[in-house]
Structure 1
Amino acid sequence: MSIAAGLREIVDRLNAPPLQMGFSSLVQFDELPPFSLLSIVNRILTILDPKHNVDMENERVEATYQRMVEFITILGYPSDHSQAFKECFVNGDKRVLHPLLYWLLVNLPALRERAYLARFLVNLEVPQDFMQDDNVAEMYGKYKELQSTFKATHSALQQQRDAATMPNELKRDIQQLSVEKDQLMMKIKAFKQRTAGDADFGTILDVTSKLRHEQEEEAQLADAYKQQRRQLERVEHLHLTASQRLQAMRQARADAEEKPQRMLEVIRAEVENNGARLEQMTAAHDVLCRELDAAEKQLNVPNIDEATLQDAEEKLADLHEEVESMESSLKSQLQAQAALDSKGGGLQVYRHQAQLLAKKHEALSKKVEAIETERNSAAFELEQLEADYEQRMGHRYLRREDFKDYAATLRDKTKKFKLAKSEVQSLRSEGSILKRTEQLLEERLAEAQQGLREVEEKFGVVGHDHLESRLMEASEAKSAADARKGSQMEALSEVVTKINFMLREKKNELAPRIKVLRAKREELAEAEGVYLTKRTEYEAVEADLNREVMQRRSVTDKLLEETESLRSRADEIELKIIATESLVARGERERQCLEGRSRFSDEHPTLSAAYTAKIRELEQTCQTLKLQQKDVSNSLDRRVHQKQLFERLNRLLEVHSGTQM
């Protein structure tokens, strides 16, 4: 893309929502000062993340660069962040800011989602020294758990959005499926009509259906074989992993015989792991308890349920009916009052009743309006509370039945947590006992090893006991592994034998059907031979006919070309005839003019006289122009000299006037 096209794209996107900066031309944008360019970049970054809404005039240049570059790096802008890039960025160089603006504006929708995810998923770097604190480590673990929860929730939401199907699409799919259903029904009906007279069709259909069933069973057996093979590979992998762990434990035990500190470190690592698990479970339990407390508080809030709304609507309907009845009675009374007025008697009583009814009607109307307002406010409050709950808790408001299920699940988790906590406490007590036992064993082991070293040094066989124990352990491990491998190979061979036996049985069952299929294939081959013979004859006849058609077509094309040439020749002759006739008509008119029977025009009697007068006029004009040309050529030098004299005189007058001023 050219530079002008890139600038045009930038200006168009800056003038469009949500920026709407109103640049009238590319020149206006290109003449912006460096600080204005940086302000535009900061405004775009503010759209992506509101924390960039700062006053750049009061911000240090280094802080501005650090803030913007960190954010565009998170967004994925490709840059080297060298010293030259920093200087150009700080100084507002167009070579750096224009590509950045183009990238931000073109990818703005995608960058919005990336900036939204970055607010929650950018890793918070904590120094390793601070991680030694248990509280900091616990908080950091909770932070990572929340990040993983956010990732899973966002992925699930995106999948739901992508998998959501519009009702119009569903209707269109249903209509298409109904059309396809009708077509299939018509095809099935036509197929049944075609095969109604075939007596062997039912037998062939049964055989083919059984064959398809056997093929499906064979495919299922193949899938089962693959699944068993994968399970075998998984078991072998688990066996290999267990063997490696066993070897590592034996190595640790062997090292512990030489260095008891190694076994102590292993036990301490296990205790630390159990403690970490306990802390994680405690944190999860605290989170669940807080969620339970918040849910209980939310449930204790007096909410307006569907029954309350239904009662309010029923009351409102009753009030409407009462108002309508009162209005009808009021109208009847007013009519009666009008009748009495016309008669002139008993008006005061009815007027008083009408006023009372009007006041009562007004009071009821106000009451109805108040009830409607209360209902609307209650519905709005209910929606707002549900929205706040969903925004704060991350899921929709739980009904009483859902909350009961949630509470039961939470009680189960609490019970499991208590069991795990008791197990951890028992493990801690066992760990303390093991530590004391370990100390005693270390003391005894040190004494035994010291005595063994003295004996080995005495007889000259230092390290013999340790080497012999390691050889025995290695031989035992090898024999156990060989035994497991042999049993697994035997099981695998049994499975393969069963599969082969089942395949042979299926082949024997399918042998008669295969014979029938072979006979059908032979019939099909014979039919194909007849078809190929007929097709060859048809192609030969078609080739002869095509050859004859081509010959006739070539003859027709030649005749058409000759006809076209003759037609063009006739048109040419016709045009010549028209021209000759016009010349003859002109000659006839000239002859009549010469004989005196008519005149060519008012000025000239004949055409020849008109041509002669025109020629004479042109000759006179030519002579006049020649005389004028001669006059101009003779007076050219004199007039040029005169012009030069006038120009000199004009300059002298200008100089003279300038000296006088």
Structure 2
Amino acid sequence: MSQQLKFVVEQLNKEPFKKNLNLILFDSLEAMQLLQLLNDVLAEVDPKQAIDIREEQPEQTAKRMFSLLGMLKYKPLGNQTDASSFRRGLVAGHKPVVHPLLHWLLQRVPELKKRAYLARYLVKLEVPAEFLQDEVVGDTYHQYEDLVETFKNYHKGCEQLKASGFSTAEIRKDIGVMEEEKDQLIKRVERLRKRVETVPSHQRMLELARQLRVEKEREESLAHQKQEQKNQLFRAEQRLQVSQQKLKDLGQASVDTDPESLMRKLEEEIKINTYIVTEKLPKELDSTRRTVHFLQKIKEVSAQIKQLTEKRLMRSDPTDNKLTLFRQQASIIVRKKEAKAEELQRAREELAAAERELAQRSSSQGRGDDQEEVVRGDELKRLVAKLRGKGSTHKKRRAELAELKAENGVLQRTEEVLAQRSQDVLQQLTMWRKEHLCLGPPPKVVLVPFFTRW
């Protein structure tokens, strides 16, 4: 801390402050004097801050300092992280708040000067959005933004020039060289003038040379004017061609037109627009309204269905949940039984077809020659083997069908037992309600058979 105070005192004793302070005097400054000293340092950074704080209200002083410090991006050090405590300490001129601030400012005065200068032009004004809706205000704000961007570009170019290596010493040296060249040229002109003065009628020759120079400049000016007039003539010819083409198009369009035809066209357009407004658009609007109404009804019905589903789930009988598993098993068995019955029917049809084919081959066997008898005998063996395979398959299907029938009977018996148990439970529940709750009997449960006997 002592090093900070020493640095602050040294900087305040230098240019441009020249306060002639020492550590004892600086430490003995009162709150108002310390704030004035801080304000002087801020005025060095931003000349707008050069104000005697005794002539200013404390609230205005605090607001002005806080605004500048926020623009300079100052962050309180140490235990001043709390913004409210920092503000109170700065307004009251507390040394633990002001001393670190002075140290921070005096360490980087050139940098802060530049930042304050740029902030004067780059910090944009906050304009409410509703004000920007006005055309004049909006255009003015856009011009303001364009000027800010222009300032950025100019400042960037200036910084680049400063960093490019040019110094004032070099510029002064170049100026000195150019002044020397100027003196040499003046001396040369004087020598030439003295030489010309010895020539007879030199005044007339100088006048003629001056007139020649003037005429040449005039010739160049006239040539430039001639070129400009040629360009203007070319642009005027182009505009003339465009106007002539427009006139020609209008003339062609008005060849067969008269007031009556124009009136008819206008009447047709009016009829079309009237039809669109009075018939087409209302129909489309009604159709859209009906669609919206229909969709709203669908939404309401969906909500009602959802509510009814929830109510049904809440009011469902617990005995139905016990029977659900057996019903699912029964439905699976029924589907298996139907599939096996279809397979059995196909096997029977194949067996009948094989028997018919065997009968045909047996009847036609006696009418063939020896070679044909051998071939038909082999075919007969294959048919017999195929028939045996079909027979074994038929037996397997019959066995599976018998098993399914047995399982179906077991499930039917299970259903009957569960139904009887359900009735017993309901009777017991009814008796318990009558004895303890004095409520009416529960709703009657009707069990619908799910199985079909074979």
Q: Please say which structure displays the higher CA radius of gyration.
A: 2
The structure that is helix-richer by fraction is 1
Q: TM-score, normalised by structure 1?
A: 0.28
Q: TM-score, normalised by structure 2?
A: 0.39
Q: Larger relative CO (CA 8 A, sep 6+): 1 or 2?
A: 2
